[in-house]
Amino acid sequence: MARGMVIIGAGECGGRAALALRDLGYDGPVTLVGDEPHLPYERPPLSKEAMASDAPAIKAIASDEVLAEKSIRHIHSVQAVAIDRAAHTVRLSDGSALPYDKLLLATGSTPRKLPMPGLGGRCVYLRTFADALAIRAHLRAGNRIAVIGGGFIGLELAAAARKLGASVTVIEAQPRILMRGVPAEIAEIIHKAHVAEGVDVVCGQGIASIADDGKEVRVMLAGGREISADLAVIGIGAVPVTGLAAEAGLAIENGIAVDAELRSSDPDIFAAGDCCSFPLAVYGGRRVRLEAWRNAQEQGALGARNMLGAGEAHAAVPWFWSDQYGLSLQIAGLSDEGRSTVRRDLSDGAFILFHLAEEGRLVAASGIGPGNAVARDIRLAEMLIGKRAKPSVEALGSPDVKLKALLAPERSHRLADGGAAPHLPAGILSP
């Protein structure tokens, strides 16, 4: 009898992987183990405007009915505590053990902790729905919120807090917000939007000390300024969850190290999503770890295909978005691969920066604007990046030239029709 497929971590990636296994026609046991009490859910809404609603709800990736209909066993509120690679079993915190044929680790990432004494109950992190609800309770007029770290999650939360009338200070040690991965020109637009909405954005100042008496947090900045708040939300990045994999002796390299097919150093164990580092083909196999929602989704599906023996290499281009106030930012590719930029101005103040490598190859595109003004061009740019295209600087810079025309004539890129059956070796679907 088949031991089946086991997925550890019931987040975006694990949830998508479980669904994909069934969509691919696998009919052996599929078990999804997660330590949170919820159905697999989407994290991006946790820091966005959805949080400003009176009763924030989980945005589930699949309902109980869908999981039941697809015979996906979801074990929640239980942690996987050890992998016995020789016996092909996973031990769970409730004392039970699950056998597996193939195992997928989709354990995600967890907020980087601020390495400082003095943090108490008023200093919190945001990763889970439970975290979001706890923070939500403090977001109201009259309350003071200190956001420590000018990264995406902190800035989005700052916008949500302003919407609810709280006063907000963002504290960033670097000279500007969004130092990592976002061009200065775009970070500046976001900075100005926050200032216009009444956020006090303090950059270039480290924190000297923090005092949290359980009722109030006092943040002392290196420059001498003191910021008092009812709540401090710390958003200084995330670290991959690798403990389980490391204890099982799997190779770790800024995340669980996997190959292009998402296979770890054990051929029967795969890893995908925020927890893994993998070779990114579009940049010649540069090893990266992404913390991005679409990557988690795509790698979950790719992991499922490869657990079933598809032998398919990761080929996607990284893509990320963020929403703050009415602004939406989208980034395709990794802009640090670029050596020069070309700017394309769209309507309503929206613009895109195309990042070119030395030899003129398009390697990334970063765009910002109201609503979804940059979405279409960013998506087309993503396809051009995937094709390793070298579009002319003039074409990129002039909004009248349609990017779609640059993809033609051969148009090797198509929008994958999710309904098509992938090519899998015969016999693997029904063990």
Partner 1 sequence: MSDWVEACAAGDIDEEDVMRFDHGGRTFAIYRSPDDEYFATDGLCTHEKVHLADGLVMDDIIECPKHNGRFNYKTGAARGAPVCVNIKTYPVKVDAGKVLVQIG
Interface with ligand FAD includes 35 (CB under 6 A)? yes
Q: Name the site residues for partner 1 (rule: CB under 8 A).
A: 16, 42, 61, 293-294, 297, 301, 319, 321, 371-373, 375-376, 379-380, 404, 413-419
Nearer to ligand FAD, 233 or 384 (CB): 233
Nearer to ligand FAD, 109 or 335 (CB): 109
Taking CB under 6 A as the binding criterion, the range among 9-17, 330-338, 362-370, 407-415 that sits at the site for ligand FAD is 9-17
Nearer to ligand FAD, 4 or 273 (CB): 273
Contacts of 202 (CB under 8 A, 6+ apart): 169, 170, 171, 172, 221, 225, 227
Closest contact distance (angstroms) between CB of 379 and partner 1 is 5
* Under rule CB under 6 A, residue 382 binds ligand FAD: no
Q: Provide, rounded to whole angstroms, the least separation between the CB of residue 148 and partner 1.
A: 28
Among 9, 151, 154, 303, binds ligand FAD (CB under 6 A): 9
Contact pick of 52, 66, 79, 101 for ligand FAD (by CB under 6 A): 79
Question: With binding defined as CB under 6 A, does residue 34 bind ligand FAD?
Answer: yes
Question: What value, to the nearest 5°, has the Cα angle with vertex 253 and ends 366 and 313?
Answer: 65
Comparing CB distances to ligand FAD, the nearer of 193 and 401 is 193
Please pick, from the candidates 19, 24, 31, 47, the single residue that binds ligand FAD as defined by CB under 6 A: 47
Q: Which residue has the tokens 């980034």?
A: 331
Stretch that binds ligand FAD, among 225-233, 316-324, 335-343, 363-371 (CB under 6 A): 316-324
Q: Does 36 bind ligand FAD (CB under 6 A)?
A: yes
Q: How many angstroms separate the CA atoms of 216 and 231, rounded? A: 7
> Should residue 46 be labelled a site residue for ligand FAD when binding is judged by CB under 6 A?
yes
> By CB under 6 A, is residue 291 in contact with ligand FAD?
yes
* 160 phi and psi angles, rounded to 5 deg: -65, -40
Q: Which does 154 bind (CB under 5 to 8 A by kind): partner 1, ligand FAD, none?
A: none
Site string for ligand FAD, 210-249 (x = CB under 6 A): -------------------------------x--x-----
Q: What angle do CA 31, 33, 36 make, to 5 degrees?
A: 150
Of the listed pieces 139-147, 268-276, 346-354, 409-417, which binds ligand FAD according to CB under 6 A? 268-276
Determine if 322 is a binding residue for ligand FAD (CB under 6 A): yes
Q: Is 100 in the site for ligand FAD (CB under 6 A)?
A: no
**Contact present, 131 and 139 (Cβ < 8 Å):** no
The C-alpha torsion from 66 through 67 and 69 to 73, rounded to 10°, is: 180
Residue 336 to residue 356: CA distance in whole angstroms: 10
Q: Are 361 and 390 in contact (CB under 8 A)?
A: yes
CB within 8 Å of 391: residues ≥ 6 apart: 354, 362, 384, 403, 406
Instruction: Give the shortest CB-345-to-ligand FAD separation in angstroms.
Output: 24
Give residues in contact with ligand FAD (CB under 6 A): 8-14, 33-36, 43-44, 46-47, 79-80, 106-109, 126-127, 153, 241, 244, 273-275, 291-294, 296, 320-322
